[in-house]
Structure 1
Amino acid sequence: MNDLLKCDATSLIAQVQSGKVRHRDVAEAYLERISEKDQDLGAYIHCDPELVRASADALDAQEAGRLAGLPVGVKDVIDTADMPTGYGSEAYAGRRPFWDAPCVTQTKAAGGLILGKTVSTEFAMASPGKTRNPWNLEHTPGGSSSGSCAAVAAGMALMAFGTQTAGSIIRPASYCGVVGYKPSFGLLEPAEVKVLAHSLDTLGLVTRTVRDAALVASVLAGRPGLVLSDELSTAPRVGLFRTPPFDAADPATAAALERAVARIEAAGGTVVEIEVPANFGSTHELHAAVMGWEVTRALSYERTVLWDQLTQTTRDFLTEKALVDAPAYDKACAALPAVRAALAEAMADVDVLLAPSAPGTAPKGLSSTGAPTFNTPWTLLQMPALSVPAYFENGLPVGVQVIGRRGEDARTLAAAQFVEAALDVVKEPV
């Protein structure tokens, strides 16, 4: 394996900025890796090697930026002017936007090297793409950010964009053994990203380490305070939050959570059990109502004009979501303040919460991407969350989720870095 593939983003960027490594060196290393691995994994839907090389050469002729040489995958629901953006759907195959999404523009302007478009489920919903799990090709990588998580896990990108409306960053990150960062709602600009549910859609990042996620987010969000140092932050006070579906979780999820608690405490952190507020159990129903109403309207064109071109899974999904009526949506929105208030009270004495990332390891088979059971509440409540690799069972990874208060991304990232160091699981590409 090329040594450049073993670098985390922070160290690779530093090498490119110093002139020790060229952007073209990075391009060649990652293109070779994609050529070697992606025929089996199917993480990319589009990669143009000559475009990548030309971009690298252009960057080598410029002053190095804050993300100099960062090899990036862009989820196929995010617009790119120089590559197709098909939303993971045959109905939009070959679609070429007129301009880049702001997150892509910002990445390029900071010296990031776009490698290609990563596979998404259709419209970032339920119909799986071609991607396989890099730890076991017979298992799902999760979704909808399937290609992004698989690409980072397999060393075919150091950062990839993901989106989450239910569990589309956190769950596949857990299944693929990488860091998935769903920021506070609106921290990263979501313009020119395919809209599903305007009050839920969140642009996020998939990286190999928490520090890398913090670095990239600091640049894209224009918030230097998000950057994490080499030194671990003050040991956090962590609230163990099992959530109502915990009893139905697989043994691997319980083992991951138990291991995380033991390691956090051994590293000097404090873990206290948090009683789940009585109204928290309604969050799954509330999320379903909000998403159902908003998705039905956001995809009006697809439902009206492109219906016959959509997969059956997507048609079934949209048919179910269309059952939500206006009173149900309004009732769900009206219930949210009380849920937020109860959760704020429960979190009063802790820095972050610790909860499962997924119901278990990645399920076998490629017909489904798994369930967002442990993710929808935090998406609904617009709170920052990270999945950190925690445990392996039968050769498959499973993560734990670190959740913070909305707007407290810096504190959440710092706590997640502490948890990541305590767990010390995945460091190099699979």
Structure 2
Amino acid sequence: MPDLPTIARAAELIRDGVLRPLDLVEQCLANIDQYEPAVQAWVTVDRAGALKEAKRLGATLADGEEPASPLFGIPIGIKDIIDVAGMPTRCGSPLRGKLPATKDAPVVAALREAGAILLGKTVTTQFAAFDPPPTKNPWNAAHTPGGSSSGSAAAVAMEMCFAALGTQTGGSITRPASYCGVAGFKPPWGEVSLEQVEPLSFHLDHVGPIARRVSDLYLVWQQLAARASGGVDASVTRPWAEHDLEYWLDCYGVYRTLFVVDSPLLEQADPLVQATTAAALERLRASFEVRKLSLPASFNSVLTWHKRIMVVEAAEHHRAEFKAAAEKFGPCITTLIQEGLGVSAVDYCEALRMQNQVRNELAQLLHSQGDLLGCLVMPATTTPAPDASTTGNPAFNAPWSFLGLPTITIPCGLAANGLPCGLQFIAFTSPQVFAMAGMCERILHQYARPPLLETPR
């Protein structure tokens, strides 16, 4: 069937009266009707509410009102650990979701204010941890879509929505986006409100969008950055949020150094990922200076420190519920909590201290290269999507969650087994990572759709 337009193109067509918000919602609902039984990306689809809102927005256009933003009339999904007024927040657990949320999380309120249409709640792994979800990988149902933002990534890949909010504590935006052949943005830590988002680890949690294009990520992120943090005026705190992506492509186009991460960590990349990402980097050499950068020795311990923080904070958050109803927790989240209960306070404090130290060492290293505005690049995942008994290995993503640096993954090709691979970009500011990922996306031009989408109606 015809693919969805990009968000920017859809906004243009709505503004010109060629498309109605209702048309977009109906196309997304048609995809949900056809493919949801096979993919299982949604916990709740608010069909009636989405259609009603689409008609309301269409009526405002007919009355001569201008669209509130490029997200006006755009259908979006929300990961089911984020509160949406009127919908339960189930968190993938029988312990939650007895009553609907009474108000929107700030990130959701920002999307409503922009005119986005909320289609419903997407599947999460239990409490955003590592227990495999019911969601299937759109490229091959025998493989995982990743975790924990599994439903968000699969729904975007199957064009059931234009974008979806996910969260990441280890690799839960980057990994499912890569496994499902779409793009994902993990913002800098602390730049988006986590209010009314079920926590896993409050020093590591991030909220960010998953979409099919970097430009789509940017348009969603623009609204989150501008309005989701307590209503602070973006022109004061985040002036970059006022600009479009083309502005940052122009600003950072002169900084063309791609630093390929060189670390013992990369030894975990399997041959399929190595071959696919190496081919992508070879294509980029015509447009960028591509050179290896050995990371500080302290980087070799970031996975240990990351896990230490995550397990302690997960155990603290779930301690009372776990004590009362341990049998209702999945095996992976159970292991996480039990491990966290055994970590000493001294070891936990060391891990928190090392967050700033390693981040500063990395900044000094880039400065010594004469290009603090250069962008790091590495594979998004250790392997293409593994089998459905796991959510995959977050080893290539957790370091950047630990350091709180912004990252974007884009599709960079299909591995020899037919599954997507992603290329992950890391920088110190959001404009840097958007500009570099956006430029590389245009060069690589990897926009393959899951074969399931080509199934005739």
Normalised by the length of structure 1, the TM-score is 0.95
Name the counterpart of 1:137: 141
1:216 positional shift? 1.4
- Mapped to 2, the partners of 1:169 and 1:243 lie a distance apart of 22
1:91 aligns with 95
* Percent identity over paired residues: 35
Report 1:332-351 matches (<5 A): 332-348=351-367, 349-350=370-371, 351=374
Aligned residue number for residue 414 of structure 1: 435
The residue number in structure 2 matching 1:325 is 344
3-state DSSP of counterpart to 2:423: strand
Match of 2:398 in 1: 376
Q: Secondary structure at the match of 1:389?
A: strand
Of the three residues 146, 157, 162, the one matched with 2:161 is: 157
Shift of 1:170: 0.5
Q: CA deviation at 1:187?
A: 2.2
2:239 counterpart of 1:239? no
Q: Which residue of 2 aligns with 1:107?
A: 111
Letter in 2 for 1:373: A
Aligned to 1:69: 73
Q: Is the 8 A contact 1:226 1:409 kept in 2?
A: no
Deviates most, 341-350 or 268-277: 341-350
Do structure 1's residue 402 and structure 2's residue 425 form an aligned pair? yes
2:246 aligns to what?
Answer: 229
CA distance in 2, matches of 1:374, 1:428: 24
Distance 1:230 1:10 in 2: 15
Unaligned stretches of 5+ residues in structure 1: none
* Higher mean C-alpha deviation, range 308-317 or range 7-16: 308-317
Please give the alpha-carbon distance, in whole angstroms, between the structure 2 residues aligned to 1:336 and 1:410: 22
Residues 31-79 of structure 1: CA deviation (Å, up to 9, x unaligned) = 1110001110001111131121112122223332211121101000000
Contact 1:215 1:226 (C-alpha < 8 Å) held by counterparts: no
Counterpart check, 1:22 vs 2:20:
yes
Shift of 1:188: 2.2
1:359 aligns with 2:382: yes
Equivalent in the alignment of 2:7: 9
Paired with 2:78 and 2:276, the residues of 1 have a C-alpha distance of 29
In the alignment, structure 2 segments of 5+ residues that lack a partner are: 227-239
Instruction: Select between 218-227 and 155-164 the one with higher mean Cα deviation.
Output: 218-227
Alpha-carbon distance in structure 2 between the residues aligned to 1:27 and 1:181: 24
Tell me the amino acid that sits aligned with residue 444 of structure 2.
Answer: L
How far off its partner does 1:243 sit? 3.1
SS in 2 for 1:203: strand
Distance 1:427 1:257, change over 3 A: closer
Which whole-Å CA distance do the structure 2 matches of 1:11 and 1:346 have between them?
40
1:308 CA displacement? 2.6
Give the drift of 1:410. Answer: 0.7
Name the CA distance, whole Å, in 2 between partners of 1:171 and 1:281: 20
Number of positions where the alignment pairs a residue of Structure 1 with one of Structure 2: 424
- For 2:95, what is the secondary structure of its paired residue? helix
Deviations 1:243-287 (Å, cap 9, x if unpaired)? 322112111221233123212112x21111101211110101110
Partners of 2:413 and 2:299 in 1: how far apart?
27
Q: Kindly indicate whether residue 250 of structure 2 is the aligned counterpart of residue 250 of structure 1.
A: no
The question of whether the paired residues in 1 share the 8 Å contact of 2:184 and 2:210 is answered with yes
What is residue 447 of structure 2 aligned with on the other side? 426
Deviations 1:349-399 (A, max 9, x none): 3411001110110002x2210010101110010000011111212110010
Q: In the alignment, what sits opposite 2:53?
A: 55
What residue number does 2:232 align with? none
Q: Partner of 1:220 in structure 2?
A: 224
Cα distance, 1:306 vs structure 2: 3.4
Cα deviation for residue 226 of structure 1 reads 5.3
CA contact (8 A) 2:356 2:403 kept: no
- Rounded to whole Å, the distance in 1 between the matches of 2:205 and 2:297 is 26
For the 8 Å contact 1:293–1:326, the answer to whether it is kept is no
CA pair 428-227 structure 1, distance change in 2 beyond 3 A: farther
SS at match of 2:27: helix
Partner of 1:181: 185
Q: Which residue identity does 2:198 align to in structure 1? A: K
2:245 is paired with a residue whose SS is coil
> RMSD of the TM alignment (CA)?
1.7
- AA of the residue aligned to 1:423: L
Kept in 2: contact 1:131–1:147 (CA 8 A): yes
